[in-house]
Structure 1
Amino acid sequence: MSRLGKHNLRLKEWGLKENPFRTTPLDNPEELAQIFYGRDQVLDIAIPTLYEGRNILIRGAWGIGKTALIFNLINQLQQEVATIGEKMLVLYLSSIPGDSPNEFYRALLLGIADSLAEEDAEAREIATTLLGYSIQRTKTATEGQVKIVFLSFGRRQESPSNQVNPTDNIDAYPLLIRLLNRAETIYSRIVIAIDDFDKKDPIVVQTILESSLDLFRMGKHRGFIMTGRGFTELQEATLKVLGIFSEDIPLEPMSQDDLKHIVINYLNSVRYEQRNDTYPFTDEVIDLITKYAQGIPRQLNLICEKVLRKAASNDEKIIDKKAFNFIWQTMQQEFTHQLSPQLRHLLYVAYEAGGISENISDRTLDKLNALTFVEVLPQLKTMEEQGLVIRQEDEKGFRFSPSPLFEPKLIAEAESES
């Protein structure tokens, strides 16, 4: 039997149509709702806040589940508003390009114009003539009088159909405010979800927010929800003074029990028959995996995806501790040896120091050939995005620790230093 045939047969014998685990969130809100678990207290706060036309900042480490939360939030908001018969427009905007306020306004303007094009002549004109960005409507969902539009952005350099209309040089802000005000005459409620905002530098985010008070404060029935990461104490103080966000919600690492329920939901999403357990994983193995995930759903998915695939290819009848230990050692070896020498060295130093934080010692800086923590931070953030390090936060601040997949004993240079 071929490798693929053996792999698929084992999945079928486990009662699975496919490997359900993904390190990026599903882009279908209905499918995501089947998997989403926990965060009920956040939803209890966020849904009425957005309905009231107020703004929310969702913060947390990379992979903590901010995008999954927003998807599930706007999906539930759509259903609940539909039951009371109100007319609402919900926009989900991702990958907004640029780092200047005007680029931010242009992207929002294009998104609003595209969504209102059927109802408003000026919006239709702007949507077809605004230069600089291309826009992709990935999905539109309508329930009752509530419409959700999912949009992503790219760059383009095209000629406008009408040279008199908006071009690259326009001041987008007044046009954006005018179009939003007009949208409020069409829809009784407007919610704009801006995702991936946490990928921008906190200083860029602060600059955009400080330049946009009318946008975020003045609409009585429009609310914004954004994702963000850590801010300095000065930036925290600035945000509070601006009074933009009615709710500033940090997402904490999830409990092992919550992560276990997420595993069950993922498995049920591809099972031929629903179950209330983690088969083919034993409970003992899931306890280990949820421990290694350190409360981060993306790490959970990364580990489960790889373990399930290797177990199927190895034709394991069940993923018990014996099978898992063999697979885990293989995964650590592959993960560690695939790293560049520079990344292996940084991870080893972080492992030896018990993580890297703002309180980094001079000895650790010397090993990294750096003078300050600021020099190391950009690389740590990039590694966080790749799942190489996990950011853990407490009252003392945040610390970057190597992923449990990293095994320093497998590196010759580490052995020689120990």
Structure 2
Amino acid sequence: MYLNFYGLTEKPFNPTPDPRFLYMSPGHREALAQLLYGVQERKGFIVLTGQVGTGKTTLVHALRQRLNGQTAVAFVFNSTLPFDGILEYALQDLGVPKAGESRAQQLIALNNFLVERERAGQNTVLILDEAQNLDASTLEQVRLLSNFETPTSKLLQIVLVGQPELKARLQIPELQQLRQRVGLRSQIAPLTAAEARTYIRTRLRIAGSRDLGLFSDPAVDRIVEYSGGIPRLINVVCDHCLLFGYADQKRRIDRQIVGQAVEYLEEGTQPRRRPRRSRAASGPARARWIVGTLAVATATAAVALALRFDTTVLGLMQSVRGLLSP
């Protein structure tokens, strides 16, 4: 809708985790480097945490792109699956031929697959997204997958990705053994005001915009104030700002438009706009009103005079008739 108006080739603030739009803030850059290091050095368990919408899933997709062809990746994003479901999903994602229906048969098939890849000098990664939703029993069974190892290295690298609640979940006594096996921890923080400004400009540039200052500094300040530096919320607000700006035919997004977008997101209704008339337009309108008023007054006076004249003439005629009558 607004792409041509703002000179964009695609939507810059889509909610999907597209790695092309990944903005590498210092925090994201450090987290990605840690993930790469943990996988390549076969650290076993790796934990990545961050608030909702901070870009964890986008970072994981970037990790998959940066891993060389010697690494197979199974990405399980449905955290409501029981362990058997996770195991079945991972086997299919890794391309392991179906070995049977029982858990024992599936584990044997996975072990054989991992051993063959190790002999070929290849690595294997299992990524579990939204891991804070996994119960203690499922996490403990996931831990047992780390027992696939040789005397010198881990055959399966397991990345647990989740919200800050995941750190609290790993502190419970039942998961002590898993906690002790975590070889690397990383955390993503919300963007600062300066990072958010660069984030918006980066996404505009990737989407083909020639005006990277499309959002004014006061507008960005209001966006950061509302979103708390969470990239997902920044995307939602910015997308609505472009819609409101297009509706108002404004080439630059100012703080007022951001306020309208925030009000819409909070209240669910479009803010009322009062029609504004310029002074140039009000002059002729006022003149027309005056002329119209004078015309009505003149017509009224004319009617009154006509009625008075008719009454006078009628009275005179009646008087003449009285004199002539015998």
Q: Please indicate, yes or no, whether the TM-score normalized by the shorter chain is above 0.5.
A: yes
**Aligned ranges 1:332-371 → 2 under 5 Å:** 332-334=266-268
Identity across the alignment (%)? 17
Instruction: Kindly provide the CA deviation profile for residues 211-234 of structure 1, in whole angstroms up to 9, marking residues without a partner as x.
Output: 434148975364232212314757
Question: Which residue pairs with 2:8 in the alignment?
Answer: 16
Instruction: Kindly provide the CA deviation profile for residues 59-94 of structure 1, in whole angstroms up to 9, marking residues without a partner as x.
Output: 12221211111122332343xxxxxxxx61231413
Among residues 187, 194, 206, which one is paired with 1:257 in the alignment?
194
Structure with higher helix content:
2
Among residues 88, 97, 111, which one is paired with 1:177 in the alignment?
111
Gapped regions of structure 2 (runs ≥ 5): 271-326
Contact 2:13–2:239 (CA<8 Å) still a contact in 1?
A: yes
Question: Which residue pairs with 2:218 in the alignment?
Answer: 284
Q: Structure 1 residue 167 and structure 2 residue 101: aligned?
A: yes
Contact 1:256–1:290 (CA<8 Å) still a contact in 2?
A: yes
Question: Cα distance 1:333–1:256, how it changes in 2: closer, same or farther (>3 A)?
Answer: same
Question: Which residue pairs with 1:303 in the alignment?
Answer: 237
Aligned counterparts of 2:78 and 2:255: Cα–Cα separation in 1? 44
Question: Which residue pairs with 2:255 in the alignment?
Answer: 321
Amino acid of the structure 1 residue aligned with 2:181: I
Question: Cα distance 1:210–1:91, how it changes in 2: closer, same or farther (>3 A)?
Answer: closer
Contact 1:22–1:301 (CA<8 Å) still a contact in 2?
A: yes
Contact 1:197–1:205 (CA<8 Å) still a contact in 2?
A: no
Aligned counterparts of 1:335 and 1:56: Cα–Cα separation in 2? 44
Aligned counterparts of 2:126 and 2:21: Cα–Cα separation in 1? 17
**Aligned ranges 1:54-203 → 2 under 5 Å:** 54=43, 55-78=45-68, 88-96=70-78, 99-112=81-94, 114=95, 123=96, 126=97, 130=98, 166-167=100-101, 171-186=105-120, 188-198=121-131, 200-203=133-136
Contact 2:34–2:186 (CA<8 Å) still a contact in 1?
A: no
Q: Secondary structure of the residue that 1:212 maps to in structure 2?
A: helix
Contact 1:194–1:226 (CA<8 Å) still a contact in 2?
A: yes
Question: Cα distance 1:290–1:189, how it changes in 2: closer, same or farther (>3 A)?
Answer: farther
Question: Cα distance 1:97–1:59, how it changes in 2: closer, same or farther (>3 A)?
Answer: closer
Contact 1:53–1:189 (CA<8 Å) still a contact in 2?
A: no
Deviation of 1:285 (Å): 0.2
Amino acid of the structure 2 residue aligned with 1:226: L
Aligned counterparts of 1:321 and 1:217: Cα–Cα separation in 2? 59
Question: Which residue pairs with 2:142 in the alignment?
Answer: 209
Deviation of 1:202 (Å): 4.2
Among residues 195, 204, 208, which one is paired with 1:271 in the alignment?
208
Question: Cα distance 1:13–1:24, how it changes in 2: closer, same or farther (>3 A)?
Answer: closer
CA RMSD, aligned part only?
A: 3.1
Contact 1:53–1:191 (CA<8 Å) still a contact in 2?
A: no
Q: TM-score, normalised by structure 2?
A: 0.70
Aligned counterparts of 1:181 and 1:100: Cα–Cα separation in 2? 25
Q: Secondary structure of the residue that 1:299 maps to in structure 2?
A: helix
Aligned counterparts of 1:46 and 1:167: Cα–Cα separation in 2? 33
Contact 1:311–1:319 (CA<8 Å) still a contact in 2?
A: yes
Structure with higher strand content:
1
Question: Which residue pairs with 1:220 in the alignment?
Answer: 154
Gapped regions of structure 1 (runs ≥ 5): 1-6, 79-86, 115-122, 131-164, 337-418
Amino acid of the structure 2 residue aligned with 1:263: I
Question: Cα distance 1:236–1:22, how it changes in 2: closer, same or farther (>3 A)?
Answer: same
Deviation of 1:256 (Å): 1.9
Amino acid of the structure 2 residue aligned with 1:104: I
Aligned counterparts of 1:258 and 1:169: Cα–Cα separation in 2? 47
Aligned counterparts of 2:193 and 2:209: Cα–Cα separation in 1? 26
Amino acid of the structure 1 residue aligned with 2:184: E
Q: TM-score, normalised by structure 1?
A: 0.56
Instruction: Kindly provide the CA deviation profile for residues 74-127 of structure 1, in whole angstroms up to 9, marking residues without a partner as x.
Output: 32343xxxxxxxx61231413347643232222222222x1xxxxxxxx4xx2x
Q: Structure 1 residue 244 and structure 2 residue 181: aligned?
A: yes
Deviation of 1:175 (Å): 2.0
